[in-house]
Amino acid sequence: MSKAGDFAPVRQDIAKLLHQPEYDDGSAGPVLVRLAWHSAGTYDAETDTGGSNGAGMRYEAEGGDPANAGLQHARVFLEPVKAKYPWITYADLWTLAGVVAIKEMGGPDIPWLGGRTDYVDDSKLPPRGRLPDAAQGGDHLRWIFNRMGFNDQEIVALSGAHNLGRCHSDRSGFEGAWVNNPTRFSNQYFRLLLSLQWKKKTLANGLEQFVNYDEDSETELMMLPTDIALTQDKAFMKYVELYARDKETFFADFTKVFSKLIELGIVRDGEGKILNTDNQKGGYHS
């Protein structure tokens, strides 16, 4: 039995469950990264509401948000880990699973601290509509991510996570993967944004996405309108070019910005203990 607060064995068990031969591209990794981000990405700095603390996606109000379609798969993958380590909060488990998945898929080691609680303060529940709409452009990206406290450079650095996983017609309505090897973390997403010709395609459901008809590529790759928007704005484009040519800088900047994402709304003391008192109920620290 592991001690409460000892995350090393939890990390190991998450790493083991990533291998899912029957699922998608054979890995639970990408959908776990999306779970971590959607749990945190509801944060609003002005009202200090939303964020990963509280694991609100367990409840219909947030879990049933169409923006979160498909994330039940990620939560189900993690249930055996929660059963084995009942002391871990869902809020910690979901964010930790995201960083373990990124690392296991060849990405950077993202600093992660525990202590989030599953206590839900009804007055701090985020309304729906806080997660981005992929059919929009650059103004929408700034509106969504500035609200969380991210600048242009951080928006582009984060976007590199679309190197992982794919879009599903029965979840978001979009279809396909961004890169040829969607379970390997790299800066390929940025390189393809620049090197391939992206053409608009209207799907049967009416949604528009961008696809590549490059003759060398065996599979059709895709970009969301929000991905293409990064190449249509000078301020964003500067960083797309930087990350396409400099993988080390991308990894370093992604590390900072993803750890900032999963800490949104959390206040800690010098030893890492969470101080937001209204979120202290129900955590293993209590």
User: Of 158, 244, 266, 274, which lies in the binding site for ligand HIF, with binding defined by CB under 6 A?
Assistant: 158
Residues 58-87: x where in contact with ligand HIF by CB under 6 A, - otherwise, as a string: ------------x-----------------
Q: Check residue 171 for interaction with ligand HIF (CB under 6 A).
A: yes
Binding range to ligand HIF, per CB under 6 A, among 12-20, 32-40, 103-111, 112-120: 32-40
Q: Which residue has the tokens 């509280």?
A: 54
Catalytic residue chosen out of the listed positions 37, 112, 178, 198? 178
CA–CA dist 14, 88 (Å, integer): 13
Provide, rounded to whole angstroms, the least separation between the CB of residue 4 and ligand HIF.
Answer: 29
- Binding-site member from 51, 165, 176, 265 for ligand HIF (CB under 6 A): 165
Instruction: Tell me: does residue 174 bind ligand HIF (CB under 6 A).
Output: yes
Minimal distance, residue 153 CB to ligand HIF, in Å: 13
Q: Which residue is nearest to ligand HIF (CB)?
A: 165
Pick between residue 37 and residue 243 the one whose CB is nearest to ligand HIF: 37
Strand partners, 208: 202
* Shortest distance in whole angstroms from residue 161 CB to ligand HIF: 3
Query: Of the ranges 4-12, 79-87, 157-165, 269-277, which one interacts with ligand HIF (CB under 6 A)?
Result: 157-165
Is 178 considered catalytic here?
Answer: yes
Between CA 245 and CA 190 the distance in angstroms is 9
Task: Please report whether residue 31 would count as binding ligand HIF according to CB under 6 A.
Answer: yes
How many residues of this chain interact with ligand HIF, rule: CB under 6 A? 23
User: For the chain, what is the HEC assignment?
Assistant: CCCCCCCHHHHHHHHHHCECCCCCCCECHHHHHHHHHHHHCCCECCCCECCCCCCHHHCHHHHCCHHHCCHHHHHHHHHHHHHHCCCCCHHHHHHHHHHHHHHHCCCCCCCCCCCCCCCCCHHHCCCCCCCCCCCCCHHHHHHHHHHHCCCHHHHHHHHHHHHCCEECCCCCCCCEECCCCCCCCCCHHHHHHHHCCEEEEECCCCCEEEEECCCCCCCCCEECHHHHHCCCCHHHHHHHHHHHHCHHHHHHHHHHHHHHHCCCCCCECCCCCECCHHHCCCCCCC
Catalytic residue among 37, 38, 112, 162: 38
Q: In the stretch 116-155, what mask flags binding to ligand HIF with x, by CB under 6 A? A: ----------------x-x------x--------------
Tell me if 164 contacts ligand HIF by CB under 6 A. Answer: yes
Give the binding site for ligand HIF (CB under 6 A). 30-31, 33-34, 37, 70, 132, 134, 141, 158-159, 161-162, 164-168, 171-172, 174, 224, 226
Catalytic residues: 38, 178
